[in-house]
Amino acid sequence: MENNEFFERLYNELEDLLRIRYRLEPNASAVYFHENRVGGQTAKNLRAIRELRNYIVHDKRTDTITTCIVSDEAIRFLERAIEGLKRPRRAIDVCVLKERILFAWITSPVKPLLAAMLERNISHVPVLDDSGRILGVFSGTTLFAQAAGTEVLAVGPKTTMRDFERYLPLAAHVENYLFVDRTTPLEELIELFGATPKGGRKTKMIFVTEHGVPEERILGLITPWDILDGDVVAA
């Protein structure tokens, strides 16, 4: 029964923190409200936690055997969720920092880059200018666009990003790319990836800069895989 009692205390603490965050009424189901904002696996886990809490609280009886004991995994999930609310994670905390990013310059040769992309299983590579600002993105779509727009597509030792310059700008892609500042909360990042922008272009990548504007040097980048991990979005 120790886990059950601890679970109830943690759940109540989570509810209180969420009511403060969302400015909800004292009797509002804050966990239910939160699970509808985060989505994905985290929402499923929150729903399971909420249903478990309701069972434990509303079906307590002293004249029957204990039929439900909260698992350690559920306890750990609640602890991580509470920690995440007390110390919210920002874009700079969850992004892949620039030092770890595979990127290219406009003068970079294409063949070595393609080999590196295959080796690291990377489908999209930012292309930077001399100041570290985003010029565009090189991807498989870039190759297809180039192939569709020319009679001959040949990638040789002297082929560089400049040969694909027309297709590198972010606006030339079928995917959507966004910029956020370093302090953007994790919840907002999740919403940005979940939303379908005007034109139906799903967000493929988010670039982190100091103030969230394209004219600045990038500090890092975020893909859905970086923030949809259970440990990252436990809050």
Q: pLDDT per residue over 101-122, tens digit each?
A: 999 999 999 999 999 999 999 9
Q: Tell me which range, 46-60, 171-185, 195-209, 216-230, is most confidently predicted by mean pLDDT.
A: 171-185
pLDDT at residue 231 above 60? no
Tally the C-alpha atoms within 13 A of residue 102's C-alpha that lie toward its C-beta: 17
**pLDDT at residue 89 in the model:** 87
- The mean per-residue pLDDT over the stretch 166-176 comes to 90
Residue 234 in this model has a pLDDT that exceeds 50? no
d(CA 221, CA 142) in angstroms, rounded, equals 19
- Tokens of residue 15, six digits: 């509810």
What length is written for the chain? 235
Q: Higher pLDDT residue, 233 or 59?
A: 59
Q: Report, as an integer, the average pLDDT of 73-77.
A: 94
Residues 109 and 160: beta-carbon distance below 8 Å: yes
Distance CA(110)–CA(165), nearest Å, equals 12
Domains of the chain are 2-87 (no CATH), 93-227 (3.10.580.10)
Judged on CB neighbours under 10 Å (0-12, 13-18, 19+), 128 is: buried
Mean pLDDT score of the chain: 88
The Cα 34–Cα 203 span in angstroms is 22
CB proximity list for 50: less than 8 A, separation 6 or greater: 29, 31, 32, 35
Q: Work out the burial of residue 34: count CB atoms within 10 Å of its CB; fewer than 13 is exposed, 13-18 middle, 19 or more buried.
A: buried
Is there a contact between 175 and 145 (Cβ–Cβ < 8 Å)? no
Identify the three-state secondary structure at position 220.
strand
Q: What is the pLDDT of residues 119-160, one digit of tens each?
A: 999 999 999 998 889 999 999 888 887 777 765 667 888 899
